[in-house]
Amino acid sequence: MISLSTPVEEIPKIGVAYAKRLKKFGIKTVQDLLFYFPARYDDFSEIISISQARNKLGEVACVQGEIIEIETSKSIYGRMAITKAVVQDRTAQINVIWFNQPYLEKSLRENDFICLAGKISLGKEGLFFNGPAYERINEIGENEELTHTGRIVPVYSETKGITSRWLRYVIKPLLYRFADQIQETLPKEIIKKYKFLPIQEAVWQLHFPDSFEHADAAKARFSFEELFLIQLNVLKEKIKLMQKKSAACPMDTDLMKNFTDSLPFKLTDSQKKCAFAILKDLEKTVPMSRLLEGDVGSGKTVVATMAALNVIKNGHQVAFMAPTEILAKQHFKTISELLKNFGVKIGLLTGKNARIFKDNETAEISKKSFLGDLENEQLNIAIGTHSLIQKGVEFKDLALVILDEQHRFGVEQRDHLIKNKKLVPHLLSMTATPIPRTLALTAYGDLDLSLINEMPKDRKKIKTIIVEPNQRKEAYAFIEKEVKDGKGVFVIFPKIDSQATKLKEAIEKHGPVSGSFIPQNYNVLSLSQLAVNEVKALKEEYERLSKEVFPDLRITMLHGKMKAPEKERIMLDFKKGEIDILLSTSVVEVGVDVPRATIMMIEGAERFGLSQLHQFRGRVGRSDMQSYCFLFTTDPSMLNRKRLKALVESNNGFELAEKDLEIRGPGSLYGTQQWGIPDMAMQGLTNIFLVEKTRAAAKEILEKDPELKNYPELKERLKQFQTRIHFE
């Protein structure tokens, strides 16, 4: 007996081969298939006579008629099947041509009635359809049961072997059979309050809408529902956390004043405000869970160090995790300098090496000694990468966990630091990635938010310049002059696009010929696109810059395949001024503080999002010297020009994050596509009103019923949803 939970391989007309392909979309059951919604729609709803098609040249049209001629032949080289047909109604005839669909010879015959939809073109023999959608009908004028033409037609995301036509063919009969069995999950009061379509009707209208208004109403319902489930998930986690206990660490105001007085600079008002909020959180016995946001160079580490010092002086330990060894070592050096007058013992654990700072001296120690000191509370702060969650690393009294770039650590890794503890450590996450408000209220909705939204007073605004191809020489001359004045230069390259590289290799092998010569598994781009999109390889560009452009300057590469000690040595040499220009791909962490670096040169700038470009730009401007960011681009498209212009006009990371979200969407911007967030929720993340509405609704439900005992269908749906999403 087939039901909503039946595996798709057991559905007639699907079988094992198609089931394997469907699993790429996460479709495993009948219900999954019914909840695989269209990406967009084609409007073929207006059926016109063939004579009226003359007025639709270059436009999409839908007609019905009788096939009076049809034949399939081979192309000159025998590589391609070409099916030609002539279709007529009472007003006129029209030619039709399909390429590479030899099965049409068996499925379409003379005297069959057919509905066609596609773009009207003009050829030597008059008007014709080129590869239109088609559908056999019983008679001209029939439109009630049409699936692929003559209506608003759903278009789905596809993969090899799974087309939108096939999905429509499979989904429609399943809707007739099972739509009424889909259980409502939204609480009745929410459906009534917001006048949502019932779930059964909404599923139908999303797949085969009666009108675009009906499709929009169905989308609105499911966008709300999916964001609502995310909000329920994060708020339930927050409630669960609030039931646990943490060590209360009262704020020592004299200590904090002594610390800020010891700094060689004054804290900004924003830093003071964030530090106060964090220190007040630490006084509570419920675990702090706070995200500290701020641009590169805004002073997040100093604020985190204040929190760490206060926890230590309350008799507890602190763990500080960074995403890379380079950054862990930088934090060790920075925090050791900041706390040198406060009698704090600081340890660094990276891979197999360990280091300790106490009594104003740094010394190498064995890993065994490090672990012993940590367990015996001889270390106050342990700084490291994932090494801090290795087996055998035990804190005696861990009360605060600080995570740098927290979205790069998984939930399980965070939990590892706090498992089996009677008292749960407070959590402070830091990120230099400005997060739009909508995303902060959803994906990071279980965290309280603190924003450092101003830079140190002595920092000059970084001048950002778009460099056209004909302006390169002028830019290179300026860069050389800066280097000769003792300044340092970062050069960032995009990752090499593997598809473009494959296409280039294929073209080199076969010559600049038609797409049919390119291997089928390549994403075929036109030669003009390739010319625009081809990315300079790091090593090739290193050769060009060092030999042709800057032969007298000291240039070095930094890339992901290098061992950590080599990376560290290169960064140190760059910081000391022994390297003039440092080339790197975007995947390498170059966040080390290099005050002498005043130029950030970005190749292929159009290939990065605004937030990422803004972060790269923040690597310079770390002193009182004027700094520059050069955006080298070869893409003349208006979209990219608009994005890059926004970067030129604004130095505010939060403004740019909102703009980036609007242009690129949350999937590209924050990798949310990898979290398993459904498309409807992804689209909803751009709508602050919808996000706030779903958050309020989730709070209201959980306040009344934290365990969702009165909402069994919602509870089950949330459980299923939680297996699909994983917030990093």
- Name the packing angle between helices 164-178 and 199-207 (round to 10°): 160
Q: 7-55, pLDDT tens digit by residue?
A: 989 888 888 888 889 988 888 999 999 999 998 999 999 999 999 998 9
Give the per-residue pLDDT at 501: 47
| pLDDT greater at residue 502 or residue 376 | 376
CA distance 247 to 472: 58
Residue 680, phi then psi, degrees to nearest 5? -60, -40
Query: Domain residues of the chain, as ranges?
Result: 48-150, 253-283+299-431, 463-496+535-650
| pLDDT greater at residue 611 or residue 523 | 611
CA distance 633 to 479: 17
Domains 253-283+299-431 and 463-496+535-650 agree in fold: yes
Instruction: Judge whether residue 682 has pLDDT over 90.
Output: no
Instruction: Judge whether residue 93 has pLDDT over 90.
Output: yes
For residue 404, what are the CA distances in angstroms to 379, 430, 447? 20, 5, 15
Please name the residues in contact with 595: beta carbons below 8 A apart, sequence gap of 6 or more.
622, 623, 625
Q: 453-485, pLDDT tens digit by residue?
A: 787 776 788 899 999 888 999 999 999 999 999
Give the per-residue pLDDT at 87: 94
Instruction: Judge whether residue 589 has pLDDT over 70.
Output: no
Instruction: Judge whether residue 686 has pLDDT over 50.
Output: yes
Q: 240-291, pLDDT tens digit by residue?
A: 888 889 999 999 999 999 999 999 889 999 999 999 999 999 999 999 988 8
Q: How confident is the model at residue 175 (pLDDT cuts 50, 70, 90)?
A: very high
Q: How confident is the model at residue 413 (pLDDT cuts 50, 70, 90)?
A: low
User: Can you tell me the mean pLDDT for 201-226?
Assistant: 93
User: Can you tell me the mean pLDDT for 601-614?
Assistant: 84
Percent of the chain surpassing pLDDT 90: 44
Instruction: Judge whether residue 531 has pLDDT over 90.
Output: no
| pLDDT greater at residue 181 or residue 79 | 181
Instruction: Judge whether residue 657 has pLDDT over 80.
Output: no
Residues in the chain: 728
Q: How confident is the model at residue 495 (pLDDT cuts 50, 70, 90)?
A: low
Kindly write down the DSSP assignment for every residue of 226-273, as one continuous string. HHHHHHHHHHHHHHHHHTS--------HHHHHHHHHHSSSPPPHHHHH
CA distance 436 to 13: 45
**Lowest mean per-residue pLDDT among 118-132, 276-290, 506-520:** 506-520
Instruction: Judge whether residue 411 has pLDDT over 70.
Output: no
Instruction: Judge whether residue 621 has pLDDT over 90.
Output: no
Q: Which residue(s) pair with 358 in the sheet?
A: 361
**Lowest mean per-residue pLDDT among 139-148, 517-526, 611-620:** 517-526
- Among 13, 294, 314, smallest CA distance to 304 is for 294
CA distance 588 to 291: 24
Pair type for strands 81-88 and 93-99: antiparallel
| pLDDT greater at residue 334 or residue 612 | 334
Give the per-residue pLDDT at 85: 93
Instruction: Judge whether residue 526 has pLDDT over 50.
Output: no
Instruction: Judge whether residue 86 has pLDDT over 90.
Output: yes
* Neighbour count for residue 449 (Cβ, 10 Å): 16
| pLDDT greater at residue 656 or residue 418 | 656
Q: Which residue(s) pair with 428 in the sheet?
A: 290, 402
Pair type for strands 93-99 and 126-130: parallel
CA distance 269 to 249: 23
Give the per-residue pLDDT at 294: 84
Helix (H) or strand (E) holding 382: strand 381-384
Contact 605, 644 (CB under 8 A): yes
Amino acid, res. 284: K
Give the per-residue pLDDT at 683: 64
CATH topology of domain 253-283+299-431: Rossmann fold (3.40.50)
Q: Which residue(s) pair with 356 in the sheet?
A: 347, 363
CA distance 722 to 123: 55
CATH topology of domain 463-496+535-650: Rossmann fold (3.40.50)
pTM of the model: 0.71
User: Can you tell me the mean pLDDT for 498-522?
Assistant: 40
* Long-range contacts at 515-524 (CB < 8 A, ≥ 24 apart): 516/79, 516/80, 523/499
User: Can you tell me the mean pLDDT for 203-226?
Assistant: 93
Kindly write down the DSSP assignment for every residue of 490-537, as one continuous string. EEEEPPP-HHHHHHHHHHHHH-S--GGGS-TTS----HHHHHHHPPPP
Helix (H, G, I), strand (E, B) or coil at 678: coil
Instruction: Judge whether residue 592 has pLDDT over 70.
Output: no
| pLDDT greater at residue 560 or residue 305 | 305
User: Can you tell me the mean pLDDT for 124-136?
Assistant: 90
Alpha-carbon Rg for the chain in angstroms = 31
Instruction: Judge whether residue 509 has pLDDT over 60.
Output: no
Match 């009424």 to its residue by tokens: 180
Give the per-residue pLDDT at 41: 94
User: Can you tell me the mean pLDDT for 376-399?
Assistant: 88
Helix (H) or strand (E) holding 69: strand 60-74
Give the per-residue pLDDT at 476: 94
> Which CATH superfamily hosts domain 48-150?
Nucleic acid-binding proteins (2.40.50.140)
Percent of the chain surpassing pLDDT 70: 84
Give the per-residue pLDDT at 541: 82
Contact 307, 546 (CB under 8 A): no
Give the per-residue pLDDT at 662: 66
Please name the residues in contact with 210: beta carbons below 8 A apart, sequence gap of 6 or more.
152
CA distance 178 to 148: 21
DSSP state of 485: T
Instruction: Judge whether residue 671 has pLDDT over 50.
Output: no
* Neighbour count for residue 119 (Cβ, 10 Å): 14
Instruction: Judge whether residue 372 has pLDDT over 80.
Output: yes
**Lowest mean per-residue pLDDT among 213-217, 422-426, 595-599, 660-664:** 660-664
Q: Which residue(s) pair with 365 in the sheet?
A: 354
Instruction: Judge whether residue 198 has pLDDT over 60.
Output: yes
Contact 114, 65 (CB under 8 A): yes
pLDDT averaged over every residue in the chain = 83
CA distance 428 to 431: 10
User: Can you tell me the mean pLDDT for 78-92?
Assistant: 89
Give the per-residue pLDDT at 561: 74
Residue 689, phi then psi, degrees to nearest 5? -65, -40
Instruction: Judge whether residue 431 has pLDDT over 60.
Output: yes
Q: 308-363, pLDDT tens digit by residue?
A: 999 999 999 999 998 888 888 889 999 999 999 999 999 999 877 899 998 888 88
Helix (H, G, I), strand (E, B) or coil at 80: coil
Q: How confident is the model at residue 124 (pLDDT cuts 50, 70, 90)?
A: confident
